[in-house]
Amino acid sequence: MDGRRRNLFKLGGLLGAAGMIRQARADTTDNTVAGSWMVQIAYDDTTNNQGSQATQKTAMCQFFDDGRWVGSVSAVNPGFSESWPANWRQATYHGEWRRRGNVVTVRANRMRTDDAGNFVANATTAIQATLSPDGQQWTGTFVTVSRSLTASGTFTGGLNATRM
């Protein structure tokens, strides 16, 4: 085997090894969005956010590998309040997520009922978030359009999430 050919094989082996190392690093860095997340919600302090102005809440959500997304009923944090009709019950959000690079988008819906189980409203939420390089946090914004039997409203705010 001549020297040029041997050097070509050596170079090919080195490039192949470098590629395997890069792939191994990518596989050990948990930068997937799939999994469970604890989410801090901060509603904007605007008149649009009727009943939720400047309210802070905590929720949990789950991103599934196949693109499904589920978000829990949000709990109002201590020191904050929310003025919704007392007899409205919120159901879990159900939706889908997509990822492009570190940008994650979610579209989800939920239903609201009264104490007797009658339908009173539904809501559609759109989330746009940025996943941190290490895959352990994300931050973003949300827009929720809520439609009751008699009215509708738009709610906005910010989100910070930490992997559970």
The domain spanning residue 143 has which CATH number? 2.40.128
pLDDT band at 59 (very low <50, low <70, confident <90, very high): very high
70 and 131, same domain (yes or no): yes
Mean pLDDT over 39-50 rounds to 90
**Which pLDDT tens digit goes with each residue over 81-109?**
887 666 677 789 999 999 999 999 999 99
User: Does pTM surpass 0.85?
Assistant: no
Per DSSP, the residues of 22-45 read HHHHHHHS-----EEEEEEEEE-S
92 and 140, same domain (yes or no): yes
18 and 42, same domain (yes or no): no
Q: Which residues contact 159 (CB under 8 A, 6 or more apart)?
A: 39, 40, 41, 42, 127, 129, 138, 139, 140, 141, 142
The residues that bridge with 104 in the sheet, in sequence order, are 99, 129
Write the CA distances from 142 to 43, 114, 118, 133, 158, integer angstroms.
9, 25, 27, 21, 6
Q: Which domain holds residue 7?
A: 1-30
Return phi, psi of residue 50, to 5°. -50, 125
Compare 32 and 70 and report the one with higher pLDDT: 70
Return phi, psi of residue 30, to 5°. -80, 85
Percent of the chain whose pLDDT exceeds 90 = 55
Q: Which residues contact 118 (CB under 8 A, 6 or more apart)?
A: none
Counting runs of H as helices and runs of E as strands, what totals does the chain give?
A: 1, 10
Tokens at residue 25, please? 């690093």
